[in-house]
């Protein structure tokens, strides 16, 4: 094979890695599109839902940290589940991540295009062809940055995250000066009390809260390109999770203090815009849209990194065709994998603009992504618990962080995934479960190709 054997090692430090983890979860984007849903589901117990699911995600974060110490791999869940439970189950863990990354990237491009037109030419937001063209342009720009190398990608991510963070910080500070004096929902510490849930209310809130935290694990996908690859990505994942839990709790509290139930329902997926407009006036509402736009583009970039690094690792191991493991001789990026997801994204965007059914599927698939998140993260938690099971006798802290917490988090995620299935419509079930099951086709075809090569 005519490429360097490894990705561009030692390119990222701890600061860049932490920012990648934060950007992967897309703080502004997540708050913008999910806050109204979780408040509509859990009401004033939304902070408790975020807190509990954050603790569950910390169990998964420990699974990633510990498994990365055992094996630093761009394939993360695929590599670790394969190592512990066998290559077939590992294949499906990696396949679930590939499917959800692809769907999420394309789905997120539409809001990015809408935000762009909202800032520069609002009347064109209703023109589906303009929206599609802008979305395709953003996808192309992100692809070009990612293919040029991890250093350029990290520089762009740092710049976007700093601007986004400054805007959000101004909104947060102003909110705590203004909203408590005329709170729409009077503050109560009961908002954070997890035992106030009924089982059904907790499960419904957890389905939404889990989506808030998705994406931080990109730091581990970049482990082979990070300095001290067995430790730095894990530390970055931990501090990303700390920041994200605090940030999401703060913004949920701000929303409850500043907006009435009617306003939350009315603004729906424009919560940050509503808060900024209420604090500073219409102009700042549009500044908030810039933060959401940067957050959306940033998370598409990290999703592309997760997709291409997972595809690269699977192909390098022979689980998929070796072409996707080829690295560019100069930039040392999996350029064929990046080209593949760029083309696939453009095709899906084009289809969504002409076929209403495809567009509906892309919109509805956001819910299905939650099922796939639970699947691959849950498998990773269980793999960590089983791999380190002998540590149970080596002290309580090691037993908790290496076995009990990761495994319990994995079981919880599978419970939430199975609980959610009866609540899904047929489109969500087809995309959620069907997207994973269809992985059996490339698995079998690739095995057949390998057998044919060996026989020949």
Q: Which neighbouring-strand residues pair with 12?
A: 226
Tell me the domain boundaries of the chain: 14-453
Arithmetic mean of pLDDT, 248-257? 96
The model's confidence at residue 231, banded by pLDDT at 50, 70 and 90, is: very high
For 444, counting Cβ atoms within 10 Å of its Cβ (0-12 exposed, 13-18 middle, 19+ buried), the class is exposed
Task: Tell me the whole-structure pTM to 2 decimals.
Answer: 0.93
Is the distance from CB of 95 to CB of 82 less than 8 angstroms? no
- Digit-coded pLDDT (tens) for 433-452: 888 999 999 999 888 887 77
Number of CB atoms found within 10 A of residue 275's CB: 29
Question: Which of the following CATH numbers is that of domain 14-453: 3.20.20.150, 3.90.550.10, 3.40.50.720, 1.20.1740.10?
Answer: 1.20.1740.10
CA distances from 419 to 36, 203, 287, 414 (A): 22, 8, 39, 8
Is the distance from CB of 388 to CB of 413 less than 8 angstroms? no
Token pair for 232 = 């730095």
- Digit-coded pLDDT (tens) for 24-75: 998 998 898 889 889 988 999 999 999 999 999 999 999 999 999 999 999 9
The model's confidence at residue 207, banded by pLDDT at 50, 70 and 90, is: confident
CA distances from 77 to 21, 41, 117, 273 (A): 16, 30, 37, 36
- Digit-coded pLDDT (tens) for 344-403: 999 988 887 776 665 665 556 666 788 899 999 999 999 999 999 999 999 999 999 999
- CA Rg value for the chain: 21
Nearest to 317 by CA among 68, 3, 101, 73: 73
The model's confidence at residue 6, banded by pLDDT at 50, 70 and 90, is: confident
């Amino acid at each position: 094979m005519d490429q360097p054997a490894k990705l561009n090692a030692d390119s990222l430090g701890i600061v860049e890695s932490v920012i990648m983890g934060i950007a992967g979860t897309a703080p502004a984007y997540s708050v913008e599109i999910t806050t109204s849903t979780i408040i509509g589901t859990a009401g004033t117990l939304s902070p408790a839902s975020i807190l509990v699911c954050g603790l569950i995600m910390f169990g998964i974060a420990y699974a990633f940290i510990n498994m990365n110490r055992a094996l630093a791999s761009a394939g993360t869940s695929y590599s670790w589940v394969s190592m512990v439970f066998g290559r077939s189950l590992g294949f499906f863990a990696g396949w679930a991540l590939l499917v959800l990354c692809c769907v999420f990237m394309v789905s997120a491009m539409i809001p990015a295009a809408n935000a762009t037109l909202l800032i520069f030419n609002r009347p064109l937001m209703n023109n589906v062809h303009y929206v599609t063209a802008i979305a395709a342009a953003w996808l192309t720009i992100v692809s070009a940055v990612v293919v040029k190398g991890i250093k350029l990608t990290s520089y762009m991510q740092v710049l976007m995250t700093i601007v986004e963070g400054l805007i959000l910080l101004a909104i947060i500070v102003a909110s705590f000066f203004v909203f408590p004096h005329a709170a729409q929902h009077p503050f109560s510490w009961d908002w954070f009390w997890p035992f106030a849930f009924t089982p059904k209310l907790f499960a419904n809130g957890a389905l939404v809260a889990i989506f808030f935290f998705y994406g931080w694990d990109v730091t581990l996908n970049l482990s082979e390109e990070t300095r001290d690859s067995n430790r730095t990505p894990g530390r970055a994942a931990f501090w990303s999770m700390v920041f994200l839990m605090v940030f999401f709790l703060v913004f949920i509290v701000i929303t409850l203090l500043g907006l009435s139930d009617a306003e939350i329902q009315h603004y729906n997926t424009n919560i940050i815009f509503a808060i900024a407009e209420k604090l500073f006036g219409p102009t700042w509402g549009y500044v908030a849209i810039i933060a959401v736009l940067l957050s959306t583009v940033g998370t598409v970039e990290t999703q592309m990194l997760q997709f291409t690094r997972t595809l690269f690792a699977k192909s390098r191991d022979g689980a998929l065709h070796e072409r996707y493991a080829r690295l560019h001789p100069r930039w040392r990026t999996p350029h064929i994998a990046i080209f593949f997801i760029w083309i696939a994204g453009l095709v899906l965007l084009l289809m969504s603009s002409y076929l209403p059914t495809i567009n509906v599927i892309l919109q509805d698939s956001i819910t299905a992504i939650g099922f796939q998140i639970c699947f691959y993260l849950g498998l990773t938690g269980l793999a960590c618990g089983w791999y380190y099971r002998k540590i149970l006798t080596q002290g309580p802290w090691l037993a908790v962080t290496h076995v009990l917490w990761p495994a319990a988090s994995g079981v919880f995620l599978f419970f939430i995934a199975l609980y959610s299935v009866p609540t899904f419509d047929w489109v969500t079930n087809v995309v959620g479960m069907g997207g994973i099951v269809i992985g059996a086709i490339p698995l079998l075809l690739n095995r057949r190709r390998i057998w044919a090569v060996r026989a020949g």
